Amino acid sequence: MGEQPEERPDPPSRAMRPVEGAADPDLHPRFWEAQLEAARRGSLAWGLAAFFLGYGGYYLFVLVLTAVRPERQGGFDPTAPPSTGPLLLLAFAPNVLLGLVPAVFSWWRGRGLRADFGIVPKRRDWKVGVACGLTALIGSWLLTLVIIAVSGPPPETDLARLMQGERTVWLFLFALFAFLGAPLTEELLMRGALWGALEHYRLPRYAILVLTSLIFALIHQEVWRTPVLFVGGLAIGAARMITGRVATSMIAHATNNFLPALLLFAVAR
C-alpha cells in the first residue's frame, strides 16, 4: 500500500479568528472589526421585513392616537407630546414598536439580540460610540446655526413650548426616554434590522451608511431638521460601520441625545 498523504487541518474560520485577524490581507484595514462581526452574525435577510413591519406598526399606532385625539389639528405628532401628566409618555409609545418588532424577529428568525445585533457593548464600543456621538452633536449644532443664518429661526414646536412648562416627574421620564429609550428602539430598527438586511444583499458599506442616514432623517418627519438629522445620522451610522455592532451606534445616539434631553429638563421651570 502506498503512503497516505498527510491530512492538513482545515484553516480556522474567519468568524472565529481573534482580534489579531486584523492582519489578514483579505480584511479591510479600517473595517476589519465590522467584517469579523458580520461573519459571526450570519444572514439578516429577515431584516427588511422587520424594518417595514416595525415602521408600519409605528405609523399605525400614530394613526390610532390621531383618531382618539381628534382635537389636535393636523394629527398626532410623536415629536410634539402633550404638555401635562402621564400623557407625555404617549409621545414615545409608537416609538417602542420601532425596536420591539426587530427584537421579536431576532428571537423568532435569528439568533437573539446579542448575536444578531451585537447589543451588549464592549469597551471599544464606548470609545467609538462617544466619539461618534460627540461628532454628531457638534456637526448637527453647527449645521443648525448655518440653517438659521440662511433661512431664519425654526418654527416653534410643542416640544419647545414643553421646555417652558413645569419641571415634573413626567417631564423627567420623557427626557430619560429621549436619552436612553429612543436610541435603543431607533437603532434596533435602523442600524440593526435595516443595516443588517442591506449588508446581507451586499450593498457597499458607504451606500448603506448614506441610505440608512437618509431614512433615519425622513422618518422623524421634521422638515426643518431633516438636514440636521441626516448629518447626525451619518456620524451615528459611522459608529456602527466601524465596529459592526449596534451597541456602538446606540451609545453614539445616546451621546448625541444627552445634552438636548438634559436641557429639556433643566430649562423647564
Residue 56 domain flag: yes
Residue 179 domain flag: yes
Residue 27 domain flag: no
Residue 19 domain flag: no
- What pLDDT is stored for residue 101 in this prediction? 96
- What pLDDT is stored for residue 87 in this prediction? 63
- What pLDDT is stored for residue 226 in this prediction? 94
Q: How far is CA 100 from CA 50, 51, 97, 103, 152, in A?
A: 9, 11, 5, 5, 38
Question: Domain of 241?
Answer: 46-267
Contact (Cβ atoms closer than 8 angstroms) between residue 172 and residue 90: no
Residue 256 domain flag: yes
- What pLDDT is stored for residue 7 in this prediction? 47
Q: What is d(CA 106, CA 50) in angstroms, rounded to the nearest whole number? A: 9
- What pLDDT is stored for residue 262 in this prediction? 87
Residue 22 domain flag: no
Per-residue pLDDT of the chain (269 residues; tens, 9 = 90+): 455 554 444 444 444 344 444 456 677 888 888 888 888 888 899 999 999 999 999 989 888 877 776 455 444 444 454 445 566 667 778 889 999 999 999 999 999 999 999 999 999 999 999 999 999 999 999 999 999 999 888 877 656 666 566 677 777 888 888 899 999 999 999 999 999 999 999 999 999 999 999 999 999 888 889 999 999 999 999 999 999 999 999 999 999 999 988 887 777 66
Residue 29 domain flag: no
Place of cell 398626532: 76
Query: 60: Cβ–Cβ under 8 A, 6 or more apart, which residues?
Result: none
For residue 7 the three cell numbers come to 491530512
- What pLDDT is stored for residue 41 in this prediction? 86
* Number of domains composing the chain: 1
Query: 100: Cβ–Cβ under 8 A, 6 or more apart, which residues?
Result: 54, 185
Give the ranges where 11-92 is alpha helix by DSSP (H): 32-41, 47-68
Cα end-to-end distance, the chain, whole Å = 93
Residue 231 domain flag: yes
Contact (Cβ atoms closer than 8 angstroms) between residue 156 and residue 164: no
